[in-house]
Amino acid sequence: MGSTFGHRLWWVDAFTDDSARGNPAVVVLLERPMSDSELQQIAFELGVSETAFVRRVGDTWQLRWFTPTVEVELCGHATLATLHVLLTELGVPGGEFYFHTRAGTLSGRRLGQGLLAVDLPRQHLEPLETSILNGALGDVSEVYAAGAQSVVAVVKDYDTLCGLLVDPMSLFLVPGSLVIAVCEGAPQADVAIRVFAPRLGVAEDPVTGSALCAVAPWWASRTGMPTVSVRQASARGGMMYARLFEKNVEVAGYARTFFGGDLRA
């Protein structure tokens, strides 16, 4: 790649709280179009679970997400991180932000008390046989397909969830880009999850906003409640809040900038 200056970037931890470090995303503000191969190389060099590339197009924003190995259809934490950068680092005015993505047009906004929220597409759950996991998550009581990309597996309790010893190669055989293990009950939360994405080059994701596209409908089907608090029981930890609508799930959380700089690519 040639040497061009002008692309700014920020490392943002998304879905943090006092006891959780959240999920890092690098948000790159593009000043000019770049090829897919250039974007993928940058994401590989940065090495976080997702790099978000955002570029202004009129009154809206074009947004793409890359893991170190592939471009993904949807990423919640990197979208929240992008919203944080636009509001906090760039001071972009506006109450509602719109992002054109491979998953359609997503929107985001600032809520009260420092919370940020993004609207992600709701997924509908279809029951599956537990045998589809081939024992990769141990003893599970229920399994669901959530859209074309995700699988949700229900485990007994929080201790069971935290104690899962998962072989990424076994999960690679499960027909889903995201494998979401979920249980009722968690410290200061309604639900706990862990998320594995070996097909996307991510053995275990630290915090996964897009998982709530499936988890919020699952919780509503069990409790009738349209809102849910979710703790992600990864090594870094994360805290998310969701509100279920007919077509979307509003996913909310806190974000903080770790550092910013210039991309020389």
The question of whether 50 is a catalytic residue gets the answer yes
Region of 6 on the Ramachandran plot (φ > 0 left; ψ -120 to 50 alpha; else beta): left
Residues 6+ apart with CB under 8 A from 171: 136, 137, 179, 196, 198
Per annotation, catalytic residue among 50, 73, 126, 250: 50
The DSSP secondary-structure symbol of 5 reads -
> How far does Cα 236 stand from its chain's mean position?
14
Residues 6+ apart with CB under 8 A from 137: 153, 155, 164, 166, 171, 179, 181
Residues 6+ apart with CB under 8 A from 45: none
Helix (H, G, I), strand (E, B) or coil at 45: helix
Q: Which residues are catalytic?
A: 50
